[in-house]
Amino acid sequence: MLSIIRERLRQGHRTAKYPKQEPVLPELFRGLPTIDSNRCTKGCTECLASCPFDALQKVDGQIRLDMGRCLFCTACSAACEQGALSFSRDYRLASRSRDGLKLGATEYPLATALDAKMKKIFGRSLKLRQVSACGCNACEEDINVLGTIGYDLGRFGIQIVASPRHADGLLITGPVTQNMQSALLETYAAIPEPKLVIAIGACAIAGGPFCGSPEINDGIGDLLPVDLYVPGCPPHPYTILDGLLRMLGKI
């Protein structure tokens, strides 16, 4: 017993101090894209042609980026000789609405909190059932990481549970294949009201690299009402955690 206590003291406190302190991110981390309209040459379409997933569009002469479709491959920034497109280290990407994921030259809106009634219900205790609707396991792994000692999701009153009967909402990953669609809807139906739906990753939001395939539903789409979108491929654990805490009004 004494050796265990001694080793615990030697290791110290390993849980990150987020959100009181900003997280430490790896050097290669790709965060919120930025668009400098002053550097964007009119008529140039190199970035649009380089995007393999049609995440970029030109609206009224201005570049718009759909964060829900972006896989952070950086092909657009590499193709832009003017340097109008770049990727920052801002991990805060979540949005409460699908339209909120449309990035332009203006400031990116952060996720807002639930209304007072829903925040009162879920603010102190939120149980989530995770469903992989044929994901590649990248988003799923980053959700699992949130349960480790470094992030300690449980200290915020948020837990991943095994049964939808014990859940307050769904964490959905994957592009929602035809084979998983009915299972996803049945899981959602098993969760008691009121309930939340959270789409994690580009696949769950818009189909990701599988968008347009007849075998998938291009993400949640019009299947379920979504309360929080967390873009990325996959989103960093801090991106997911930030979105959850903002939705619950804890940030």
CATH of the domain at 170: 3.40.50.12280
Q: Are 198 and 172 in contact (CB under 8 A)?
A: yes
Give the model's pLDDT for residue 42: 65
Give the model's pLDDT for residue 105: 66
- Give the whole-angstrom CA distance, residue 86 versus residue 103: 13
In a domain, 79, yes or no: no
Give the model's pLDDT for residue 9: 76
Q: Which long-range contacts (CB under 8 A, 24 or more apart) does 213-216 make?
A: 213/175, 215/177, 215/178, 216/134, 216/175, 216/176, 216/177, 216/178
The list of the chain residues with pLDDT below 50 reads none
In a domain, 187, yes or no: yes
CA dihedral angle for residue 179, residue 185, residue 191, residue 193, rounded to 10 degrees: 170
47 Cβ contact list (under 8 Å, min separation 6): 56, 63, 76, 77, 79, 80, 84, 85
In a domain, 196, yes or no: yes
pTM recorded for the entire structure: 0.92
Give the model's pLDDT for residue 216: 93
In a domain, 71, yes or no: no
In a domain, 219, yes or no: yes
In a domain, 218, yes or no: yes
* Structural domains of the chain, count: 1
In a domain, 60, yes or no: no
In a domain, 16, yes or no: no
Give the model's pLDDT for residue 221: 80
Start-end of H helices in 26-115: 46-50, 75-79
Domain span at residue 240 reads 116-247
71-96 tens-digit pLDDT? 999 999 898 888 889 999 999 999 99
